[in-house]
Amino acid sequence: MIDKTALSAFIEKRLAGTDLYLVELEISAGNEIRVEIDSDTSVDIDQCVRLTREIEEEFDRDAEDYELEVGSSGLTSPFKLPRQYMKNIGNEVEVLTKEGKKIKGMLKRADEETFTIVAEEKQKPEGARRPVTVQVEHTFPYGEVKYTKYLLQF
């Protein structure tokens, strides 16, 4: 089986000095390797192909057979790293809380431990007849949500 630590270190080294970064590395029991990368700007197919070739040159298939898939984090894939939250500040996102509540709003800020979204919610002020729409900030630690993903709107 391919050494995950060695492969991860190799990928990190190959991506160093670029705006690309490793999001996830999975190696199955059958030596099926799935590499997911992202970028602060964009990921194109040529970057994925180049990384695939570099991995194949470093990790000899004759010594150990494996299946390799290198791809970018999808537009509708949940965020997995704080860096993905930071790059999406100002974008509309959807958050699913651990309680099962979906909140849609604009990603306002993110750091290494938490993120904040601003959502429009209807609230009925005391003494008012009708609810009004107000901006409400919600701050979450990363571990307290099931997922957060870019909200694709047409």
Q: Are residues 91 and 50 in the same domain?
A: no
Across residues 96-112, what is the average pLDDT?
A: 97
Phi-psi region of 127 (alpha: psi -120 to 50; beta: other; left: phi over 0): left
pLDDT recorded at residue 75: 80
pLDDT recorded at residue 154: 73
Is there a domain that residue 13 lies in?
yes
Q: Are residues 35 and 66 in the same domain?
A: yes
In b/e form, how buried is each residue of 88-117, taking b as 16+ CB within 10 angstroms?
Answer: beeeebbbeeeeeeebebbbbebeeeebbb
Residue 113 belongs to domain spanning: 82-150
| Whether the predicted pLDDT of 134 surpasses 90 | yes
pLDDT recorded at residue 91: 96
Q: Are residues 68 and 88 in the same domain?
A: no
Is there a domain that residue 77 lies in?
no
In sequence order, what are the beta bridge partners of 3? none
142 is written with which tokens?
Answer: 């990363």
Residue 76 banded pLDDT, cuts 50, 70, 90? confident
Q: Are residues 37 and 65 in the same domain?
A: yes
Is there a domain that residue 124 lies in?
yes
Domain count for the chain, please give it: 2
Distance separating alpha carbons of residues 24 and 27, to the nearest angstrom: 10
pLDDT recorded at residue 23: 97
